[in-house]
């Protein structure tokens, strides 16, 4: 059989799982044709990007490695939704296994919506435990956003199917929690557990706000997620608040 066409090799590369790229490179590296050499260069760049990402993820485990010798179950805690004018504040507690191999975890704000959705599914599949807490807009109005956030965080901890032995928190120390805690400023970009929690909380809350958009379409919650966009504020002034607006947040607009 003659040598493969370059278009066939290109198709093979595009369809190849990342795990077999090294074998792909080895098979065609001595082909000699300029078109194949270009494909091999693309494959090598792909492997280099993967190496860089794996190194980043290892650095993201710095806090976990510090405490994994002492604690098997470390819970990362984060929240989403402290700033919006409408909807709940949502928190997540995520316990990852020590051999966690999930790549691309980061502060949820640094990821595209598509990537967050992909990582949400992978985290849900591979985590030891994933649990959610939430405080409604009524609860936020009743006890203020900070206390409501703490309450939602405690709920997420209590809902964990495996009790965390210690907590890595994004920036805060949660009152009324007896488990050892380590607050980390910008923790969602410094700890893989907190980063995972930020993704779970963000995707969960975004899905909730999309559901609310179907009930209250005039406020465009699917696009603004309850935050104070110009479009949202205009609708708030035109229609007044709906049941999920935080009355303590909207005094300047109604």
Q: What is the DSSP string of 125-187?
A: HH-SEEEEEEE-HHHHHHH-HHHHHHHHHHHHHHH-SS--SEEEEES---TT--S-EEEETTG
Q: Residue 1's pLDDT is what?
A: 43
Q: What pLDDT does 253 receive?
A: 86
183 contacts: CB under 8 Å, gap ≥ 6: 169, 170, 171, 172, 173
Annotate 72-109 with b (16+ C-beta within 10 A) or e (fewer): ebbbbbbbbbeebbbbbbbbbbbbbeeebebeebbbbe
The length of the chain is 254
C-alpha–C-alpha distance, residues 254 and 246, integer Å: 12
User: So what's the pLDDT on residue 2?
Assistant: 57
**Which residue ranges of the chain lie beneath pLDDT 50?**
1
Q: What is the pLDDT of residue 254?
A: 79
pTM of the predicted model, to two decimals?
0.92
CB atoms within 10 A of CB 238: 9
- Taking only the tens place, the pLDDT of each residue in 48-88 is 999 999 999 999 999 999 999 999 999 999 999 999 999 99
pLDDT tens digits, 28-45: 999 999 999 999 999 999
pLDDT at 3: 81
Q: What span, in angstroms and rounded, lies between the C-alpha atoms of 165 and 71?
A: 6
Determine the 3-state secondary structure of 92 from DSSP.
strand
């Amino acid at each position: 059989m003659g040598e493969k066409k370059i278009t066939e090799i290109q198709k093979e590369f595009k369809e190849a799982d990342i795990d077999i790229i090294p074998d792909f490179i080895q098979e065609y590296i001595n082909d000699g044709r300029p078109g194949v050499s270009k494909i091999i260069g693309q494959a090598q760049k792909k492997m280099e990007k993967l190496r860089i990402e794996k190194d980043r993820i290892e650095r993201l485990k710095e806090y976990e490695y510090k405490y994994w010798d002492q604690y098997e179950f470390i819970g990362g805690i984060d929240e989403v939704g402290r700033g919006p004018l409408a909807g709940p504040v949502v928190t997540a507690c995520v316990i990852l296994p020590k051999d966690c191999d999930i790549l691309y975890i980061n502060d949820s704000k640094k990821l595209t919506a598509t990537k967050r959705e992909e990582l949400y599914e992978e985290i849900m599949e591979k985590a030891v435990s994933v649990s959610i807490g939430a405080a409604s807009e009524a609860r936020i109005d009743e006890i203020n956003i900070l206390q409501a956030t703490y309450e939602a965080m405690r709920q997420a901890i209590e809902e964990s199917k495996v009790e965390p032995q210690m907590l890595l928190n994004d920036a805060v120390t949660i009152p009324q929690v007896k488990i050892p805690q380590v607050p980390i400023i910008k923790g969602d970009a410094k700890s893989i557990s907190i980063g995972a929690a930020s993704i779970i909380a963000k995707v969960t809350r975004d899905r909730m706000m999309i559901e609310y958009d179907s009930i209250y379409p005039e406020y465009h919650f699917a696009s603004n997620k309850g935050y104070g966009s110009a479009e949202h504020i205009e609708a708030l002034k035109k229609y007044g608040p709906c049941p999920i607006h935080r009355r303590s947040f909207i005094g300047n607009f109604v």
